[in-house]
Amino acid sequence: MTSKASDGAATRILVTGGAGFIGSHYVRTLLGPHGPGNVAITVLDKLTYAGNPANLDQVRAHPEFSFVQGDICDPALVGRLMAEHDEVVHFAAESHVDRSIDGGAEFVRTNVVGTHTLIDAAHRAGIKTFVHISTDEVYGSIDEGSWPETHPLEPNSPYSSAKASSDLIALSYHRTHGLDVRVTRCSNNYGHHHFPEKVIPLFITNLLDGKKVPLYGDGGNVRDWLHIDDHVQGIELVRTGGRAGEVYNIGGGTELSNKELTQLLLDACDASWESVEYVEDRKGHDRRYSVDCTKIREELGYVPRKDFATGLAETVQWYRDNRAWWEPLKERAAL
């Protein structure tokens, strides 16, 4: 590890959860040929079931990349790392709603206690900027219209409640201590390297194997879909140009019911509705999410660039071509 950057040196960014789906894509993008070129990244990841070292193979040999396996709830480790970095982008979280319904303790530990451990260490180390990655699920459910960032938080699952708590803890360090904290709340992400417990990769991999896919309830739950390229674009706009103490919604602009999404996935995988199995609806299942992205668009110039048809086709093809990546994950998780 090196000391904090001096003037003209690369900005050292600590990325928590950087071996996961979105975090690893953020790291690959920043250290890739079209990245900013003035950053050095350390990934801190516990490598739980959803963290995959293979997600970072593309950048492992990069001179500005380093990896630390560790727990964001470990104050000694976190404190040492904060002292060596300039900025933090905090992805690390337990994020699967179904798992949180089965048991919420690990969600509270990681999402709430872990975030507090990080933000407190960031304050004490004098971190320049702390970007906290959150979710639209903290707003609850909305029948019509879209949530602005000022909407009250009304989470309905143990997962979203833990994320809402982490948002408030992070923002409190801005209001109390003046730490530059910026929060992003994204809609449902999709794309390559997505752990196959989430709906799109689960459905794709099941259908490619000729298996059934489970559709909750009547399939009428509505989500906005955001490609990981666009999410990373939004996060970088917030990191480099956002305002301290502010929240920014990041959406993809494609609202689909789960039934509509299922039809698109069936078509893409050359399957029929005979492959669909209706299952009992999830407890407390939010009916609809929709974020208002006016703020990030007007302040930072954010516009989603990946149309859903193209993004979905690319995603399906990636899973067709990368069985060696996802088959072992499904076997270990018994999905």
Name the residues annotated as catalytic: 136-137, 159
Do the Cβ atoms of 18 and 24 come closer than 8 Å?
Answer: yes
Q: Which of these, 334, 331, 333, lies nearest to 323 by C-alpha position?
A: 331
CA atoms within 13 A of residue 209's CA, in its CB half-sphere: 17
- Alpha-carbon Rg of the chain, whole angstroms? 19
Q: Phi and psi at residue 2, in whole multiples of 5°?
A: -115, 165
Q: How far is the C-alpha of 12 from the C-alpha of 2, rounded, in Å?
A: 9
Strands (E), the chain: 11-16, 39-45, 65-69, 87-90, 129-135, 181-186, 188-190, 213-216, 222-227, 247-250, 254-257, 276-279
Q: What is the DSSP letter of 5?
A: -
Measured CA to CA in angstroms, residue 138 lies from 286, 289, 334 at distances of 11, 10, 29
Q: Phi and psi at residue 212, in whole multiples of 5°?
A: -75, 155
Q: What angle do CA 114, 245, 35 make, to 5 degrees?
A: 75
Do the Cβ atoms of 254 and 308 come closer than 8 Å?
Answer: yes
Q: Which of these, 24, 21, 64, 18, lies nearest to 45 by C-alpha position?
A: 18
CA dihedral of 248, 52, 285, 297, whole degrees rounded to 10:
20
